[in-house]
Amino acid sequence: MTLSCQRVNGHITGKPWLVFLHGLLGSSEDWQSLMPWLSDWPCLLIDLPGHGASTNVTAAGFADVSQLISSTLQQMEIHDHWLIGYSLGGRISLYHATHGDIRGLRGVMVEGAHPGFKSLRDRQQRRHHDHLWATRFLHQTWQQALQLWYRQPVFSDLTDEQRQQLVALRLNNNPATLAAMLGATSLAVQPDLRERISRLPLPVVWLCGSLDSKFITLAQQANFPLRLIANAGHNAHRANPADFARQALALITSPVLKEVEHDLS
């Protein structure tokens, strides 16, 4: 089984593919705002299980999603590639890089993504938190659930108009499949990936909106390489696609990173 995806600039050769994984409630369409700045790069925009055109695809956990990504890349005949993931997509990217088939993977960029909890207490609290959200998805009206979702502190930088735009964008989603994916890929069941990340034979870089203090702090505490996206909060690629694309391409074409890749290959 494979995931639904969109190929953009697939005719371009000689460069690694940029493979994008969206966040919870999102879809491959979320990355379209970046495409004008990536016209010289082949891009693959993937719909994660339960989302977008992959609504009918299920996954029991991170290992299933990682295998689906590998199968999708194989079907698309993509070898050399970078993974770029936002929020849930970033956590899945980290899991795939540390547990999955990384043949052809040149590096990972994660936007506003958590490397995993260290303590059992944090996991238990997150399990309760995500169970409450899954219950809201299933039993409240979908619009009510979305209104509450985008009122979470992590989205505090959004204006009311921006919140309503996101609510309208997500109204056609299937709350049942999203609730299932929330449970399957909760931070409560994600392993702490910090040690494995530090031993990866490829670059891993955090991209955070300059206003996203929570995830800036997480990256700094773990001593992860960090780039800030100007005038952006948690969803930096939506708030400032031009700077996000500029920073991403600077990393991909960095002589320093190329040297690291060569030394580790």
- Domains of the chain, by residue range, sit at 5-117+190-264
Query: pLDDT band for position 255 (50/70/90)?
Result: low
Q: Which of 224, 203, 21, 4 is nearest to 116 (CA)?
A: 224
Tens digits of residue pLDDT in 98-143: 999 999 999 999 999 999 999 999 999 999 999 999 999 999 999 9
pLDDT at 8 over 90: yes
pLDDT at 265 over 90: no
- Does the domain at residues 5-117+190-264 carry the CATH identifier 3.30.460.10? no
Helices (H), the chain: 62-75, 88-99, 120-139, 142-149, 160-170, 175-184, 194-198, 213-221, 236-239, 241-252, 255-264
Tell me: pLDDT of 258 over 80.
Answer: no
- pLDDT for the residue 257: 55
Does the pLDDT at position 96 exceed 70?
A: yes
**Confidence check: pLDDT of 4 > 70:** yes
- pLDDT greater than 60 at residue 263: no
pLDDT tens-digit profile of 36-49? 999 999 999 999 99
Residue 157 neighbours by CB under 8 Å, 6+ apart:
209, 211, 212, 232, 233, 234, 239
Residue 256 has a pLDDT of: 53
Residue 55, pLDDT > 60, answer yes
Whole-number Cα distances in Å, 111 to 19, 24, 75: 13, 13, 26
17 close to 44: Cβ distance less than 8 angstroms: yes
Given this model, what pLDDT does residue 242 score? Answer: 98
Share of the chain above pLDDT 70, in %: 96
- The answer to whether the beta carbons of residues 66 and 1 sit under 8 Å apart is no
Mean pLDDT of 247-252: 96
Res. 254 pLDDT band, cuts 50 70 90 = confident
Is residue 264 predicted with pLDDT exceeding 70?
no
- For the chain, the average pLDDT equals 95
How much is the pLDDT for 261? Answer: 47
pLDDT confidence of 155, banded at 50, 70, 90? Answer: very high
| φ, ψ of residue 109 in degrees (nearest 5) | -120, 125
pTM: 0.95
In the predicted structure, residue 262 carries a pLDDT above the cut 80: no
